[in-house]
Amino acid sequence: MATINDNYLKLKAGYLFPEIARRVNAFAEANPDAKIIKLGIGDVTEPLPESCRKAMVKAVEDMGDRSLFKGYGPEQGYAWLREKIATYDFQSRGCAIDASEIFISDGSKCDTGNILDIFGNNNKIAVTDPVYPVYVDTNVMAGHTGPTNEQGEYEGLVYLPINAENNFTAELPTEKVDLIYLCFPNNPTGATATKDYLKKWVDYAKANGSIIFFDAAYEAFITDPNLPHSIYEIEGAKDCAIEFRSFSKNAGFTGTRCALTVVPKTLMAKASDGSDVEVWKLWNRRQSTKFNGVSYIVQRGAEAVYSEEGQAQVKELVSFYLENATIIREKLTAAGLSVYGGVNAPYVWVKTPNGLSSWDFFDKLLQVVNVVGTPGSGFGAAGEGYFRISAFNSRENVEEAMQRITENLKL
């Protein structure tokens, strides 16, 4: 009989967001007249920018013209898109990233998991706690961990707690680690990182031969000119970091799927015989073997983000969601809750009131005011006692949700 990958059996009962969906669906079936407002997952609600839509329509028309038709594209992504990304997202900020170091993909979620394909099983891996669950779960699937302990932590991972006391920015590990996951602006806490803070991590990584996986999916929400958008704004980062970005949150591509990963050609790792290996070559080989690339139509839509019209439209979208975050933050603060994030980030991180557990607060919000958020414990043991609220929704829904919570929920 065929056998399975037993590592999957070590995973907790269910991925966080499917469990939320299960509870919400059960409530909706039992209360069909309830108007549920979902501020849980980070899915966008507003339409794609007009420039992107027009570019995609034109690309569809291209596919009907034999002279313009595109079949398989380059696995790394079309050069015309990668060159614009290099120019607008990196070189404009003083980052010496070349288009050849950029890989187009169908999601940064996918890439942060798939990147493990090219790294060995004997690496010591550090994650913050709380953390985006994909980082942990994909390491479990890959066999990099043992079972969970009583706190829900997996043996074999180094957990770096983030909390209000350290401004939700982890301290450097006290032990040597090989792979480090950092996410800024942070999901789920909404925290941001200064250049000085990231410089400490780059220095640590270079001193210890570590590699940083830097998730910058929410960089477009940074409005503070003093905060870095890319880890490559830090000197030396090209020698120790891989950066992941997405078009999902800034341009609303959650349903059309387009993202990118930057692997500098100067980034090296060790083979088992002690020799240095160029990580770029391994990732290129992995993508060429396991991935056929993002569709021509979607890449044309992503390219339009860098047009003059696209830049203005994306800025408007980002501003809209940031205004939602401000509303959430201000209303909940006025209601007496301890609130974090929501500035330079689309997530608001809330301390649950009256000692409620994060899942109990989830159930109370759902059942009393029909509003859905995300329990902090779903992001890790240190997330217990906190709750994430997403700014990705319509203005009407955000305002109504805040009114329901502040007027009808006894906090």
For each of the domains in the chain, give its residue range(s) and CATH number, in order of start. Answer: 13-42+310-408 (3.90.1150.10), 52-306 (3.40.640.10)
What is the DSSP annotation of 107-145?
-HHHHHHHGGGGS-TT--EEEEES--HHHHHHHHHTT--
Give me the torsion for CA of 294, 300, 306, 308, rounded to 10°.
-160
- What pLDDT sits at residue 15? 64
- DSSP string spanning 219-258? GGG---TTS-SSGGGSTTGGGTEEEEEESTTTS-TTTT--
Residues at the binding site for pyridoxal 5'-phosphate are 72, 108-109, 132, 187, 218, 246-248, 257, 292
DSSP letter, residue 90: I
Closest CA to 369 of 337, 327, 331, 411: 411
Query: Which of these, 250, 234, 263, 134, lies nearest to 187 by C-alpha position?
Result: 134
pLDDT of residue 326: 98
The Cα 230–Cα 145 span in angstroms is 29
Contact 140, 157 (CB under 8 A): no
User: Using omega within 30 degrees of 0 as the cis cutoff, is the peptide bond preceding 161 cis?
Assistant: no
> Which residue type occupies 137?
D
SS3 assignment, position 73: coil
Q: Which helix (H) or strand (E) holds 8?
A: none
**Tokens of residue 168, six digits:** 């939700």
Among candidate residues 193, 190, 184, 235, the one with its CA nearest the CA of residue 329: 190
CA 275 to chain CA centroid, nearest Å: 33
Question: Do the Cβ atoms of 263 and 269 come closer than 8 Å?
Answer: no
Binding-site residue set for substrate: 15, 42, 109, 132, 187, 292, 388
pLDDT of residue 98: 98
8 Å CB contact between 302 and 253? yes
Binding-site annotation, residues: 15, 42, 72, 108-109, 132, 187, 218, 246-248, 257, 292, 388
Other residues' Cβ atoms within 10 Å of the Cβ of residue 375: 27
pLDDT digits (tens, 9 = 90+) for 375-398: 999 999 999 999 999 999 999 999
Identify the segments of the chain with pLDDT beneath 70. Answer: 13-15
Question: What per-residue string of b and e applies to 33-49 under the rule 16 or more CB within 10 Å gives b?
Answer: eeebbbbbbbebbeebb
Q: Of 184, 342, 319, 325, which Cα lies nearest the Cα of 250?
A: 319
CB 402 within 8 A of CB 371: no
The Cα 241–Cα 180 span in angstroms is 9
